[in-house]
Amino acid sequence: MKKTQKKKKTAPATPDAYEFLNRELSWLEFNQRVLLEACNPKVPLLERLKFLSITASNLDEFCMVRVGGLKMLVAANIRRTDPSGMTPRQQLVAFTRRMRKMVADQYELLEVLSKELAKHGFVIQESVEDLSDEQRKWLEREFMDNIFPLLSPVGVGEERPFRPAGLLSHCVATLAPTTPDEASRMVFIPLGPKLPRFIRIPDADGRAVFIPIEQVVAWQVAAVVEGQSVVECVPFRVTRNADIELREDLSSDLLAGMQELLDDRRETECIRLEIHCRATRALVGAMKQQLGLEQADVYLVDGPVELRSLMSVTQTDGFEDLRDEPWEPVPSPDVDIKESMFPQIAQGDILLVHPYDSFDPVVKLLNDAADDPQVLAIKQVLYRTASQSAIVEALIRAAQVGKHVTVLIELKARFDEARNISQARRLELAGAHVVYGVRSLKTHAKICLVVRREPQGIVRYVHFGTGNYNEKTATLYSDVGLFTCRNDFGADASDVFNAITGYSQPQSLRRLEVAPFSIRSTILALIANEAERARNNEKAEITMKMNSLSDKGIIAALYSASKAGVKIRLNIRGICCLKPGVPGMSENITVVSIVDYYLEHARIFRFRNGGLDDLYISSADMMTRNLDKRIELMIPVLAPGPRKKLLATLDVYFTDCVKARTLCADGEYRPVAARGKEKPIRAQEELYRRAKAAASLKEQTKPTMLEPHHRKRNPQTDVKL
């Protein structure tokens, strides 16, 4: 199927400020929806605790990146407004107010969850004093044997400034008196990454009892600062700014430049102090002065500092009644994992919807490519990888046996830079040709190309995805992947890799759209086509699923299409700056968001096109950074089977009335109401049910094969005749 619109159209006028929701406040509302899942009494208790830890982790990243960046703008006296009409200072004030409310809600919820979990024998202790005598004796031995040797108290003062290690530094602060004529002396005790965040205490009743490491250190602080009288001892955590970018024009060696960037992050300014609410004003004041913070940067918390680490205790063995029943990925009926991937892809395009369909075929393709003697070359883009990646191991193995392996590893993937540097070095040592991204652009595309010699000539097998080549997150994120060996897709994939590695612009692609060159113009043309059909009284529809929508030009085009009468359905997990349902502007647009068991991550776009349905998957969200500052791919889905599966998947997301919330024009999200007497549909559960049903049907219809057992030969004991 050829693309409907290729000529460029003039973008509609940019929306005015009143038509635009603030991007960062929209993100905070996404985190609020995650927090609502933690508050949901229908969700099992340990799953609720997990959601709570996710909200804390999300808020940490938001603070390090978005708040850190805004503070830099405020310090530089930048007064330029964002699309919603807010200056950096106004945004910072609004974010701080919203974040304080969210933090208060988090700790209030933790208290509720702790009480409920304790009823089931899962106990998070607030104080060592609540332990039994026997438990305290055990804990004292544990402290002296395994904790005390790792502690290094740091005296802090005017001449000895505190330099937090890492972007998030968890410590215990002590205040010790000196003489009546001198100020009290501060001593910080860093709690390094090698220390457990929570210690599990043996319990005679078989309960799982945990206590935060900072409470143990505070209990034994006299041993740590021996000879000093401690009048105050409280836990705290410092957050530092992570919103610094590599100046590529000043770094000819990107690998060395990224290493310098990681070093620079250890020296960035402090932007947040979280400290237990029992801290005195004197201690808080001294710490503010020491860290260069204002009162607005201080968060007093009533509970364990660093809630993100609660994730570790949710992994405790047992307590299955406090968790969701796991949804194990199922084998796709379109793939026989025991057979080579190449003939299966040659039979027709294969579309997988992860994590309902297992990610194993993707790993299988790389393993087959590494081991198949007919494979000549492998080309791959890696944005985020697993710490122990089977895909990276397959690429290394392929390079070691002499295959031509080219890997683009994006060193600028935020917070994954160190891991990507390590993987890049391993691949280089194995003989792979490694490209460290593209100057001035992040390479966010998800693509793997395998070049194979076959009797009819060279065949190119390609995998495109909406998610990363990461086996771990592939079981946690909802994504889509497409296998194909179509000649035009393979030729386009080769051109994309040649452009990336050869520092040129891809020319005259046949099927693929590539940012920053053509995705924006193609999306605008497709939207304009639907608007024109609506003006001609034809049925016109746009359905899009993505993570974020913030680009002003795309939003303006959607507003224009809505005014023309196009019915627009948007499923947006996170940021949405568009205001739906506004009379005269967006009354034909609905926006829903789903927060559930899996993290929604797929990007799927459908334009009705008179019933022909232009259907795409993409690595790109509709954000300016994705469309103009990254290398992204948008891939048409053409084969009948994959199209049917993808359309059915997309439609399910708009039937959810269990986990879905709809965005209102005021920026609030409200639950989607159930439809009549129909059974409520939970989209992720329905997709998993369908995947299981398809796999079961395939198993039932598979012909029975008689496979005899043979004794395995043992060369050490068998006699050769």
Point out the residues that are catalytic: 444
Q: Name every residue whose Cβ is closer than 8 Å to that of residue 77 and which is 6 or more positions away in sequence.
A: none
CA distance 504 to 475: 36
Copy the structure tokens of residue 691: 């995947």
Whether the Cβ atoms of residue 591 and residue 570 lie closer than 8 Å to each other: yes
Kindly tell me the burial class for residue 118, based on how many C-beta atoms sit within 10 Å of its own C-beta (0-12, 13-18, 19 or more).
middle
CA distance 364 to 505: 31
CA distance 168 to 171: 10
- What's the alpha-carbon Rg for the chain, to the nearest Å? 28
DSSP reduced 3-state for 451: strand
In order, the DSSP letters of 610-675 are GGT-EEEEES--BSHHHHHSEEEEEEE--SHHHHHHHHHHHHHTTT--SSEEEEPTTS-EEEPPP-
CA distance 469 to 372: 21
Copy the structure tokens of residue 514: 């590539």
- How big is the chain, counted in residues? 721
CA distance 644 to 565: 26
Segments in 43-132 forming alpha helices (H):
45-62, 68-75, 88-118
Q: From the CB of residue 117, how many other CB atoms can be counted at a distance below 10 Å?
A: 20
Q: DSSP letter for 321, please.
A: G
Copy the structure tokens of residue 47: 């799953």
Token pair 């995998």 is found at 463
CA distance 670 to 331: 36
CA distance 602 to 628: 20
Please state whether beta strands 232-240 and 270-276 pair in parallel, antiparallel, or not at all (unpaired): antiparallel
CA distance 286 to 577: 40
DSSP reduced 3-state for 432: coil
Nearest in space to 559 (alpha carbons), one of 20, 84, 9: 20
Whether the Cβ atoms of residue 434 and residue 380 lie closer than 8 Å to each other: no
Nearest in space to 243 (alpha carbons), one of 217, 218, 225, 261: 261
Copy the structure tokens of residue 343: 């003939």
H helix or E strand, kind and range, residue 479:
strand 477-484
